[in-house]
Amino acid sequence: MPTPPSKNPQTHADPLIIPHVEAKDALLRSGYLLEHRLESVLRRRGWYVEANEAYQDSETGRTRELDIYALAMRKPWKNLIGFVWAVLLIECVNNLQPMALITKQPAFAPFHSDDIKLGGLPTQVFIASKKACQSIPDFLEMEKYHHYCRGRIATQFCSFARKKETKQRMALHEDFHFDAFRTLCTALEYTRTKFYSSWEFRAKSREYMNVEFYYPVVVLQNELLEVRPRGKSIRIESSKHLQFRRSFIHRGQACDYQIDVLTESFFPKYISLVEKELNITAQRVQEAHTEIQHSVERISRVAKRFRSPDKIRSVMEYKWHGLTLRKDGTL
């Protein structure tokens, strides 16, 4: 009589089936559970969350996945239409070794308001008295309250590994760290382009403010180190949150991106920081309704003449200002 199959798969001797204990160990060393925990934190705080959001890599054309995409919205005016959004683009990294960022004092931190990435209507505000336009970050004086505009900044990072020959530790770039930073830059531009492409300007419809502010973030499951050079020596300290600045080529141009790197334990405080900045932005938008709505209408009048998504985006980003607008509506 044949022996009946066991109800416990762990009693099988089949070497192709992973034992539960090894499966558990593999999962704990991955970033999957970290994603789940961060998603739960965001949902409890009222954020809209999509895990493993698909985006298209602009360099390869391939579809890839972003670990977490999350949205929070504020309505600046109670009786008027208008929205400002915070968009979190998050990559999760289960770093078995500490990740180290080599920081320095920026030349002039307020200039980093230029690194605040945003999209929508309007990204520029027309100042009638000056017959000129200002970016939303400059117009709202975001350098006074946005965390990009204070503190030290890193442009170099590394992790650590042991040499096989000597077992000596060495500092090196881990590919998965590099990939996380690259993913965030690519996903940000895809998200922004998708937002612009969804816009429809109809001849008789009125447009209102609708702006997204993007926050690219790397969340580490384990330790983050800050390295401060001191002459020929260095000082190393554990950190919870650092800022990494990375250049990335987009549409043939070099762009600077400021990326928050933080530990999982700091994540709830980081969300509070982003929500505080979103609240201040909404308050400042509320106080500037006249200028903002005037800019929305000014941009809309020109955008309605076009059907090409690229031309519409150029108008929305105010890149047509100072150019000749022909009678046929072309730039």
The sign of the CA dihedral 76, 289, 145, 185 is positive
Rounded distance, CA 273 to CA 278, Å?
Answer: 9
Distance, CA of 181 to chain centre: 10
pTM, two decimals, is 0.87
**Token duo for residue 66:** 């972003």
Q: What is the pLDDT of residues 207-223, one digit of tens each?
A: 999 999 999 999 999 99
Task: State whether residue 96 is helix, strand or coil.
Answer: coil
Average pLDDT score over the chain: 87
User: What mean pLDDT is predicted for residues 70-81?
Assistant: 94
- pLDDT tens digits along 14-72: 667 877 777 666 666 655 789 999 999 999 999 999 999 888 887 777 889 999 999 99
User: Contact at 8 Å (CB) between 241 and 218?
Assistant: no
Long-range contacts of 67-75 (CB under 8 A, 24+ apart): 67/31, 67/35, 67/91, 67/92, 68/35, 68/38, 68/39, 68/42, 68/92, 69/191, 70/42, 71/47, 72/46, 72/47, 72/48, 72/274, 72/275, 72/278, 74/278, 74/279, 74/281, 74/282, 75/282
Grouping H, G, I as helix, E, B as strand and the rest as coil, residue 32 is: helix
- Cα separation, 136 vs 142, in Å, equals 8
C-alpha pair distances (Å), 14 with each of 3, 9, 206? 16, 9, 67
Choice among 100-104, 231-235, 249-253 with the minimum mean pLDDT: 249-253
Q: Say whether pLDDT at 121 is over 80.
A: yes
If pLDDT is split at 50, 70 and 90, which confidence band does 329 have?
Answer: very low
Distance CA 185, CA 270 (A): 20
Q: pLDDT: is 169 or 157 the higher one?
A: 157
